[in-house]
Structure 1
């Protein structure tokens, strides 16, 4: 299982990398990871007109897209579309941040899981 990760380097530039979830247990019900710390859960509805210029993340958090995608551009120029069912770990709380916008004008429901 892949998690998209956007992070900031020591020069303030943002980049993407992939994190692979490490499985700790496997049984009849499937595989599970270790427990990750979290401080809450936030539900979000984003309109299809969403177009948010350069900004850093407000906190380190996982974003889990439920039914729509979002286009995210890092300051190094890489753009990824994070689709429905995908997970993004945002860690660019300083620096140039990222640019995000709706995909195909569709509304998106997502869950934010703050980790600080």
Structure 2
């Protein structure tokens, strides 16, 4: 499974990339149900539900305080990185935001209130625990 990623290079420029989340194990959750594919477990240090108020529109250039996996439950956002690339993220999608230094990114929000789950991942998704 692929995960959209926003990251900063050492020179402080932000970019989009992708992280591949390996899905290998199969788990049967109920008799007669098809098995689920699952990833390895990833450590999370905390999680927060956030509500972005209606009418927020644009949040100017900013960084994040830590590696955060955002899971958009409602609403939509357009992210722009400092290299000028823009990506649209709708409800039901998730993004690993790792630009903790540098210029950061812009967020242009849909006009309605939005709910987003923020999950802090101390090691990101590229380094599953052993």
TM-score of the two chains, using structure 2 as the length reference: 0.83
Which deviations, in whole Å up to 9, do the C-alpha atoms of 1:57-111 show, x marking residues without a partner? 12111000012111110000011111111111011000000011212x1221010
Structure 1 gap ranges (5+): none
Backbone CA RMSD of aligned residues: 1.2
Match of 1:24 in 2: 24
How far the C-alpha of 1:30 sits from its partner, in A, is 1.1
Distance (Å, rounded) in 1 between the aligned partners of 2:94 and 2:2: 8
Match of 1:52 in 2: 59
Which deviations, in whole Å up to 9, do the C-alpha atoms of 1:6-58 show, x marking residues without a partner? 00012110000112221130243311000011101100011232221001112
Aligned length: 115
Q: Rg bigger for which structure?
A: 2
Structure 2 gap ranges (5+): 28-33, 123-130
Match for residue 81 of structure 1 among 71, 88, 99 = 88
Q: Is the Cα–Cα contact under 8 Å of residues 47 and 102 in structure 1 kept in the other structure?
A: no
SS in 2 for 1:106: coil
Q: Which has the higher strand share?
A: 1
Match of 1:99 in 2: 106
